Structure 1
Amino acid sequence: MKSLAAVAVAAATLAALATGQEAVAAPTAPTGPVITCGTPGAPGTLLTRACVEVTGNQVRFYGIAATTHSGWQPQQVGFTVSGTVVGGAPIAPINPTVLVQAGTTSVGSIVTTAPCGSTVSGSFSVNQWGWPPSTAAVSAVVSC
């Protein structure tokens, strides 16, 4: 399959050169997911970061929680993960409660599809009674 694509690109380049036109490279498909994480939320007991993973037109919203204290003891923590396709129908947020170990923990997963060229936005926050808020946000373009 790759050799057919290479032949097609070579033929197009030769045809462009013969007519004096500028050759244009064929678009290449992404080789894997593109992950974008936003800036961390307000510092607190946990540092939050919202992330979006794009593979083709499939989008996954999730968060990363990182402990900030060396004496952290594993505990259950509530979070909210949300995502939107700008201009699209609302996506219901999720509110997982996760056992957070010392270090970093991936939290939640909302998967949807989005049109190529659209912008997606996500947010991730601590949703635990008595804890200070720490909300993080991220935006990315679905470039297919």
Structure 2
Amino acid sequence: MNRLALTTAGAMGLALLASGPAMAVAAPAATVTTTTTCGPSGLQAGLMTKVCAEITGTSVVVYGQVGLAGPPSPGGPGPQPQQLITTLDANVVGGQSIGSSPKYVNFLASTVRVDGVSGTVACGDTVHAAFGVATYPWAPRPVTLDVPVSC
């Protein structure tokens, strides 16, 4: 086959491919990242507590954490089980409530995550979250967090 025939056959093949049905190429999906922000820790009921918010786009999940304030005393009896009364609240600053979740939580020694509040907010809003922990005879001293939702 000479060069002219080969070039002509190649051009005709390309023309046939170009005139065929167009195939859609899927655009890559936009990745949405989750950002976790936690407020400062605070002591409540003799335990270390903090409140955190996970933000994915306009979805917000608020949770609290309860852990030991320090290592147990060497040679001591170890941590005793405690029944805690927790309250988790979240709202849009100057706006609607995202939710409130009072719960009883059993705590022994390992860090416990307390879930219960989630919702959707508008871009640019600021979420205010509070997490309170109480057990007899200690009243709650809620830890708080203010975090903007930037989309």
- TM-score of the pair, normalised by structure 2: 0.69
Q: Spell out the pairing of 1:74-93 with structure 2 (5 A cutoff).
A: 74-93=81-100
What is the match of residue 102 of structure 1? 109
Q: Identity across aligned pairs (percent)?
A: 35
| Residue 80 to residue 52, structure 1, CA distance change in 2 (3 Å) | same
Between the aligned partners of 1:58 and 1:99, the Cα distance in structure 2 is: 28
Q: Does 1:137 pair with 2:144?
A: yes
> 2:83, 2:135 within 8 Å by CA — same for their partners in 1?
no
* Equivalent position SS for 1:94: strand
Q: CA deviation at 1:139?
A: 1.2
Q: CA deviation at 1:47?
A: 1.0
Q: Does 1:122 pair with 2:129?
A: yes
Q: CA deviation at 1:35?
A: 0.7
Residue type at the aligned position of 2:67: A
Q: Which runs of 5+ in 2 are unaligned?
A: 1-26, 73-77
What is the match of residue 63 of structure 1? 64
Q: Which runs of 5+ in 1 are unaligned?
A: 6-27
Q: CA deviation at 1:44?
A: 5.0
What is the match of residue 54 of structure 1? 55
* Equivalent position SS for 1:77: strand
- TM-score of the pair, normalised by structure 1: 0.72
| Residue 90 to residue 43, structure 1, CA distance change in 2 (3 Å) | closer
Residue type at the aligned position of 1:103: S
Q: CA deviation at 1:82?
A: 0.4
What is the match of residue 32 of structure 2? 30
Runs of 4+ in 1 over 4 A off after TM superposition: none
